[in-house]
């Protein structure tokens, strides 16, 4: 279930959306859309222009490998409040490919900080 926290961020706990996308656990990043299924030849300006129909686009970030080759997904950051859920529920194709859309989730890291020694012991305990 999606829950509101005191700081206004929503959290997702492995929620499955109507489009079949399963949200990872973590905090939803406001006004940010995850976009998967991006063609490797597409640039950020093309994505910005395409998603401008939903609201003013602040930034587009295509995730790449070290060599600069597209990993096939990225994020669209909007300037204003947009209904990410409405965008996600649409069947959107771009450049002949059906996009996999979802709210952007910032995966939570353990709030417990382990010392180097504890981490080493923990890693050793996991090994068969």
Task: Tell me the residue ranges of DSSP E strands in 1-99.
Answer: 3-4, 10-12, 26-36, 57-64, 70-78, 93-94, 97-98
Q: Note down the domain range covering 119.
A: 3-126
Please tell me the least confidently modeled range out of 20-24, 77-81, 83-87, 118-122: 118-122
Spatial separation of the C-alpha atoms in residues 99 and 121, rounded to whole Å: 42
CA-nearest of 8, 9, 35, 13 to 26 is 13
Q: How many CA atoms lie within 13 A of 8 on its CB side?
A: 3
Spatial separation of the C-alpha atoms in residues 17 and 14, rounded to whole Å: 10
**CATH no. for residue 29?**
3.30.70.330
- How high is the mean pLDDT of the chain? 76
* CA 28 distance to own-chain centroid: 8
In total, how many domains does the chain have?
1
Mean pLDDT for the stretch of residues 28-49 = 93
Cβ atoms of 11 and 90 within 8 Å: the answer is no
Q: How many CA atoms lie within 13 A of 21 on its CB side?
A: 23
The pLDDT tens digits for 51-88 are 999 999 999 999 999 988 899 999 999 998 899 989 99
Encoded tokens for 76: 């669209």
Spatial separation of the C-alpha atoms in residues 15 and 118, rounded to whole Å: 32
């Amino acid at each position: 279930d999606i829950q509101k926290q005191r700081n206004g961020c929503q959290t997702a706990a492995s929620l499955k959306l109507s489009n079949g996308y399963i949200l990872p656990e973590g905090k939803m990043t406001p006004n940010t859309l995850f976009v998967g299924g991006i063609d490797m030849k597409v640039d950020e300006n093309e994505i910005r222009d395409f998603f401008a129909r939903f609201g003013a686009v602040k930034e587009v970030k295509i995730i790449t490998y070290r060599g600069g080759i597209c990993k096939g997904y990225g994020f669209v950051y909007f300037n204003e409040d947009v209904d990410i859920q409405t965008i996600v529920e649409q069947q959107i194709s771009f450049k002949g490919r059906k996009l996999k859309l979802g709210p952007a989730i910032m995966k939570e890291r353990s709030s417990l900080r382990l010392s180097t020694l504890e981490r080493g012991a923990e890693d050793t305990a996991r090994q068969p």
